[in-house]
Amino acid sequence: RAACDRVGCLLIFDEVITGYGRLGTPFAPQYFGVMPDIILTAKGINNGTLPMGAVFASDKVWDAFVQGPPNVAEIMHGYTCSGHPAACAAGIATMDIMEREGLYTRAATMAPKWEAAIHSLKGLKNIVDIRNLGLMGAIEFAQRDGVPGVRAFEMFTKCYEKGLLARVTGDVMALSPPLIIEDSHIDQMFQIIKEVVESTD
């Protein structure tokens, strides 16, 4: 924040993944204690039921559009399908449920179990790095024979065959479970990943 203020640029948080309770707070500003100028968000707004996204902007950013340049009657940065009634209704219903069931903050309760489980894989063969925050995690694997993605994709396939859908991009298995996950699900998930890692050359 200070660096952006010093040079006069905007601080933007991309919360497509981290927003709506993933860190144990509604959004990252509450987690980090830093307020950006713009927050980008998407699928979490209506639990992915319909395509939808939103941009939250500070008064400073909003005023820059509304008050200038001269002779501009509206903000032209919308789309034909903006404000789609079904998507908006799904968004309102989703946010009501998340509020009622405490899902905006549930990850804070589950995060210690999640962190212990993901880091229990430390030291297994071909794991280069493990990182996590809130109910997110990533396991980075060594390339096989210098070819990116081959080993990780094989692990993705093996996990899927065991009933676990774990997203893989390049050499990284990226994990972000449902906010309703229970301790037993975390145990089962990382047992599958452990078995897959141990069985993959």
Taking the domains of the chain in order of start, what are their residue ranges? 2-100, 106-199
Beta-carbon contacts of 120 under 8 Å, excluding residues fewer than 6 positions away, are 190, 194
Q: Would you state the structure tokens that stand for residue 164, as one six-digit string?
A: 């676990």
Class of domain 106-199 as given by CATH: alpha beta
- Topology given in CATH for the domain delimited by 2-100: Aspartate Aminotransferase; domain 2 (3.40.640)
Q: How far is CA 112 from CA 1, 132, 187, in A?
A: 28, 10, 13
Work out the mean pLDDT of the chain and round it to a whole number: 93
Query: What count of other Cβ atoms lies within 10 Å of the Cβ of residue 16?
Result: 14
User: Which range has the worst mean pLDDT, 48-52, 58-62, 79-83?
Assistant: 79-83
User: Which range has the worst mean pLDDT, 17-21, 73-77, 134-138?
Assistant: 73-77
The residue-averaged pLDDT of 85-103 equals 96
pLDDT at 117 over 90: yes
Tell me the pairing of strands 38-41 and 12-14. parallel
Beta-carbon contacts of 155 under 8 Å, excluding residues fewer than 6 positions away, are 141, 166, 168, 173, 193, 196, 197, 200
166 pLDDT band (50/70/90 cuts)?
very high
Task: Look up the pTM and report it.
Answer: 0.87
